[in-house]
Amino acid sequence: MQVQLLGPVCLRGRTGPVRSVPGRARSLLAALAWQPAEFVPDEVLIERIWGEATPRDPRDALYTAAKRLRRTAAEVSRDPLVRRRGGYVLEAEPQRVDLYRFRALVGAAREADDDVRRSRLYAQALRLWTGPPLADLAGRWAGGAREALAFERLAARIATIETSLRLGRPAEVAPLLVGLMSENPLNERLAALLMLALYLSGQRAEALAWYTRVRTGLVEALGDEPGVPLKDLHTRILRDDPALRAAAPLLGIGPEESRRPVTPWSGARPAPRAAG
């Protein structure tokens, strides 16, 4: 049995996804798969599933959701749900949850010593995403989890692009960066990567135009100028600095940097940790 969280929540068996997980059972599956093989107290599960809309008898409602989840899970494997005093455990190894496979692949990519292998591992990790995470769940917990996971995905996509730049593929990543900038218009790290990719692809005017666009957005939205790294890159592009051809040292994206979690430059706002 495998659990999908990076898209619509579902169970997967050998014959494919089980799409008939009932609503609250689906919420319970996600709440437990968030911490596979760990004890999760009833109070935490009730908060994750219902939030402020707690039913009159929440433990009875939780028991009903668990019974429905067991019935659905029986279609693909043995019962993975274990009741312990005051809570439940989803008996599943972390690698059976796509979120944990994604994180393991991203971690392996950061530790890789070869950019070709690093690029391949990032690609494998990102292919696990089938849509917005927890796509069919509503509520405060699911919303917070979605925001946090979206930031993890963005960090992995940025690291993938940095790797591609080091491999000499600026024309390949420029369109991807344009799309990311439309979703994150004030992210200065993305802006720098896009400007660099355009410049290295022979599109100097477009690179400078993007700086103007991002600067205008920062001033209007935050009342603030771009940070030093983006200003420095803009100046170097204006001067046609030959050092720009050594793209990785400029942005601090050498192999040793890719082994660490990606953090945004100013203008990007990390998502809050999911409650619970």
| pLDDT number for residue 44 | 96
Sign for the CA dihedral angle at 261, 262, 264, 268 comes to negative
Measured distance CA(227)–CA(137) in Å, rounded? 37
One domain, residues 60 and 31: yes
Q: Are 86 and 110 within one domain?
A: no
Residue 22's pLDDT is what? 80
DSSP codes of every residue in 23-72: HHHHHHHHHHHTSTTSEEEHHHHHHHHHTT---SSHHHHHHHHHHHHHHH
Q: Are residues 142 and 178 in the same domain?
A: yes
Cα dist. 76→2, 11, 14 in Å?
Answer: 9, 8, 7
Q: Are residues 116 and 149 in the same domain?
A: yes
Range of the structural domain that residue 70 is part of: 2-96
Residues in the chain, total: 276
Q: Kindly provide the b/e burial profile for residues 21-53, where b requires at least 16 CB atoms within 10 angstroms of the residue's own CB.
A: beebbbbbbbbbbbebeeebebebbbbbbbeee
83: phi then psi, degrees, rounded to nearest 5 = -90, 125
* 73 and 144, same domain (yes or no): no
- CATH at residue 73: 1.10.10.10
Q: Is residue 263 part of a domain?
A: no
∠ CA 16-130-258, rounded to 5° = 125
Helical H segments across the chain, by residue range: 23-33, 42-50, 58-73, 98-111, 115-127, 140-166, 170-183, 188-200, 204-222, 228-238, 247-251, 255-258
Assigned domain for 269 exists: no
pLDDT given for residue 32 in this prediction: 96
Q: Say which CATH number the domain at 206 has.
A: 1.25.40.10
Query: 239 with 151, same domain?
Result: yes
Q: Which pTM value belongs to this model?
A: 0.83
The bridge status of strand 87-90 relative to strand 39-41 is antiparallel
Domain stop point among 96, 112, 140: 96
| 226 found inside a domain | yes
Instruction: Based on the fold, state whether residues 111 and 142 are members of the same structural domain.
Output: yes
- How high is the mean pLDDT in each 10-residue block of the chain (276 residues)? 92 74 91 96 96 90 94 82 93 94 97 94 96 93 94 93 91 94 91 94 95 94 91 94 70 44 36 42
pLDDT at position 263 is 38
* 152 and 223 housed in the same domain: yes
Same domain for 80 and 136, yes or no, is: no
Cβ atoms of 17 and 29 within 8 Å: the answer is: no
How many domains, in total, are found in the chain? 2
User: Among 56, 71, 96, which residue terminates a domain?
Assistant: 96
Cβ burial, residue 235 (10 Å; 0-12/13-18/19+): exposed
The last residue of one of the domains, among 44, 78, 96, is 96
